[in-house]
Structures are given as C-alpha cells and as structure tokens.
Amino acid sequence: MSIYRMRLVEQTIQEASADFKIEAASAAEAAGYLAAARDTAEAQASKVVEIQGQSIALGPSQTLDTPVFYFLLDEDGDERGEVEPQMPLPQPSPAGPPPTETGKDAVGPVVR
C-alpha cells in the first residue's frame, strides 16, 4: 500500500432570485441596468440590489447542486490532477464472537 496526499473539494451551487420592473429602451438595456445594480451591491458587500426605487435583498432560496472533487497533491501541497474515485473492495469482516459451549454465538437475545 502507498500513502497519497489528497484534497477533497466540495462546492455548493445556490440559487437566489428577485423580480424587478425596469424602465429601459430594450430588454438588453434593462438587463444591463440590473447587472450594474447587482455589481454595485456586490462591490459594497451587500445582498441588497437597488434599482429605480426598488430595493430587494437576495439570499439563497435553495441549493441546486453540491459537486465534489478529489485532487492528488504533490509534496508541496499543490494539486497535480483530479482523481476519479474508485470504491475499495469490501474488507473481510472481523471474526464474530466466540461460540458458546452449545455452539451458538456467545451474545444471545436480550430477555426483558
């Protein structure tokens, strides 16, 4: 057997949404205004998006996915590549309890 340095990476993908009514010349322009408002909120480390008199706090409403990755590390702790897990073969179970004089397991049913 060998020893491998591995890194477990778990990402959480969450969804948050809010509806806005935006006055603009086109849908693309409205999306541009909304993108700028979101960028402003992010730059201020705020979850509140403010645009055209509307102010809505965004927070995750659900988790969409949680992908997991496994990376092989070198001696310096740098990632060398992603490794696809292979489940190990089942190990033989340890020996059961010693038999009693009657040949049954030493641990019997509990009588109350």
What is this structure's pTM? 0.56
> What's the CA gap between 69 and 52, in Å, rounded?
42
Nearest CA to 18 out of 42, 49, 62, 40 is that of 49
Residue 109's pLDDT is: 43
Give the model's pLDDT for residue 108.
43
Compute CA distances 101 → 9, 38, 95, 97, 98, whole Å: 53, 76, 17, 13, 10
- Identify the pLDDT of residue 96: 59
pLDDT profile of the chain (112 residues), mean per 10:
92 94 96 97 95 94 93 92 88 64 47 46
